[in-house]
Structure 1
């Protein structure tokens, strides 16, 4: 059985970020963790893997997240950068409805129950 490559990829920093994002997603999207930092060798490998795919960068609103974001802007300029509100600082700490809203703004299909939570 061949593995199916998904069209969309979201890059996050940690496994708790991955869990949070995955919990609100409705569509099947690959989520890649950098574990906070990424070596140039791994970044080059990633660039090759991500050719012809829609890449979304969703990292923490802190110094290490911004450093990572700069690396990705340089190496994958076509990637779309998604931002959480600075008041939450970390993707994993942001409420599910906020993550859902951020993803929805990028036309990523989310479970609308999370968006509706905010409205009620």
Structure 2
């Protein structure tokens, strides 16, 4: 059996964020959910796992998201940080089209229907 190693990883906070991003992304990516916080041991594991991958951090625009982002900036300095506008607060609450444009700007392939004008 051949195991496929995904080259891109998107780190989000919650399961609803993960679901929202998964709906939009067209290419095979690993979406890791931190559940809002991350332990030092889990962070160390992620650093090892993601060392040679393209890593994207997409967390909520709030205090817990800012805290996670600071941790990842220290421990995964090669990660690319994607930001949502503070008016949406949560990744899961951001419109599909808006998230698709952020992901596409980061060279992540997205489903075309999410780039069309929302009714």
Output the aligned Cα RMSD.
1.0
Question: How many residues are paired up?
Answer: 119
* Inter-partner Cα distance in structure 2 for 1:117 and 1:69: 30
Q: Counterparts of 1:83 and 1:27 in 2: how far apart (Å)?
A: 20
- Partner in structure 1 of residue 20 of structure 2: 20
Partner of 1:6: 6
When the two structures are superposed, what TM-score results if normalisation uses the length of structure 1?
Answer: 0.96
CA distance in 2, matches of 1:117, 1:13: 27
* TM-score between both structures, scaled by the size of structure 2: 0.96
Residue number in structure 1 paired with 2:68? 68
Alignment partner of 1:55: what SS? strand
Give 5+ residue unaligned stretches, structure 2: none
Structure 1: segments with no counterpart, 5+ residues: none
Report deviation, 1:5. 1.2
Following superposition, which runs of at least 4 residues in structure 1 exceed 3 angstroms of deviation? Answer: none
Correspondence list, 1:75-86, <5 A = 75-86=75-86
Residue 49 of structure 1 corresponds to 49
The secondary structure found in structure 2 opposite 1:4 is: coil
Q: Matches of 2:2 and 2:65 in 1, distance apart?
A: 34
Residues 30-68 of structure 1: per-residue CA shift (max 9 Å, x gap): 000000000000000000000110000000000000000
Instruction: Tell me the CA shift for residue 3 of structure 1.
Output: 2.4
Helix, strand or coil at the partner of 1:10 = strand
